[in-house]
Amino acid sequence: MQWTDDGLVIGLRRHGETGTVLELMTPGHGRHLGLVHGGRSRRMQPVLQPGNHVRATWRSRLDESLGSFAVEPVDLGANRLLDSGFALYGIGHLTALLRLLPERDPHPALYAAAGVLMAHLGNPVVAPALMVRFELAILSELGFGLDLSACAATGGNDALVYVSPKSGRAVSASAGEPYRDRLLALPAFLREREEGGMSPAPDAADVTAGFTLTGYFLEQHIWGPRGLRAPEERLRFVALGTQAE
């Protein structure tokens, strides 16, 4: 068995004296593990850092076996972000989200979105809103996507300002007003764009509302049922990314 694919490094652990079990997110083969012989060498350690992009060839005698990776660097973007605590928290949270996916289940759109997010983690103005959208994408890929396209009560798509915590569907201002204390806020930058329109640039309050929204559904559907808590990296990333200008 053999294949070659691009991959985003999302995890690694020691194996023996010199080896590393590498965890990659790939477009064609999903979240995939493999052994890298000599992965703890001075040459390979800078390459096998979470957030870096590599080109990997996986080989194994049997498809269900761990197998081994031969890895070459493509973009060592994570190494350029070592001086930014904000970016490092973002990498930690991004990779933790990707590790929630089932092994070997391809999610090419999610892989592409992760690449866009990695490319902007050095920008604290842009990255927080992208992370909110990435969390929404994770929810969708795991089968818990939100429907923000129309009001759950009226079917209309105007003045959508709330989300029902029960159904995960948008609710309009008029329909939701009597229940506003029981609804989640839908920030403007997550509302469906009008034809030919542009999403507004989010401010700190909007981004905070976005993380509150995604955090609620991640807790309800993903973290809670698995006995997990929100990663510390997310808490720190959100705190830094929602500071008012």
Whole-number percent of the chain with pLDDT over 70? 96
Give 46-62 pLDDT, tens digit per residue. 999 999 999 999 999 99
On whether both 91 and 51 belong to a single domain, the answer is no
Over residues 187-210, the mean pLDDT reads: 76
- What residues make up the domain containing 211? 83-148+186-245
Asked if residue 167 belongs to a domain, the reply is no
Of 125, 5, 148, 166, the C-alpha closest to 74 is: 5
**178 assigned to some structural domain:** no
Q: Kindly state the helix (H) or strand (E) to which residue 163 belongs, with its residue range.
A: strand 160-163
Give tens-digit pLDDT for 120-135.
Answer: 999 999 999 999 999 9
Confidence of residue 215 (pLDDT cuts 50, 70, 90): very high
Quote the mean pLDDT of the chain.
Answer: 94
Domain co-membership, 123 together with 32? no
Question: How many domains would you assign to the chain?
Answer: 2
Does the pLDDT of residue 191 top 90, yes or no?
no
- In this structure, the answer to whether residues 103 and 70 fall within a common structural domain is no
- Confidence category of residue 196, pLDDT binned at 50, 70, 90: very low
Q: How confident is the model at residue 243 (pLDDT cuts 50, 70, 90)?
A: confident
For Cα atoms 234, 238, 243, give the angle at the middle one, nearest 5 degrees: 160
- Model pLDDT, residue 199: 60
Q: Which of 22, 47, 78 is the last residue of a domain?
A: 78
Answer yes or no: do 140 and 215 share one domain: yes
Measure CA of the first residue to CA of the last residue in the chain; give whole Å.
53
Categorize the per-residue pLDDT at 197 as very low, low, confident or very high, splitting at 50, 70 and 90. very low
CATH number at residue 8: 2.40.50.140
**What pairs with residue 19 in β-bridges?**
15
Identify the CA nearest to 207 among candidates 134, 131, 147. Answer: 131
Who wins on pLDDT, 201 or 21?
21
Q: What is the CATH number of the domain that holds 116?
A: 1.20.1440
The CA–CA distances, whole Å, from 205 to 193, 220, 239, 240, 242 equal 20, 23, 12, 13, 7
Considering the chain, what percentage of its residues have pLDDT values greater than 90?
89
pTM of the model: 0.94
How big is the chain, counted in residues?
A: 245
DSSP string, 78-144: GGGGTT-HHHHHHHHHHHHHHTTSPBT---HHHHHHHHHHHHHTT-TTTHHHHHHHHHHHHHHHTT-
Mind listing the pLDDT tens digit for each residue in 158-179? 899 999 999 999 999 999 999 9
Do 119 and 64 share a domain, yes or no?
no
Residue 194 pLDDT grade (very low, low, confident, very high; cuts 50, 70, 90): very low
Residues 133 and 94 reside in one and the same domain: yes
Q: Give strand pairing partners of 71.
A: 56
**pLDDT at residue 115, as a whole number:** 97
Q: What are phi and psi of 87, to 5 degrees?
A: -65, -40
The residue written with tokens 């700190």 in the block is 204
Statement: residue 193 has pLDDT above 80: no
- Domain final residue pick, 59, 78, 97: 78
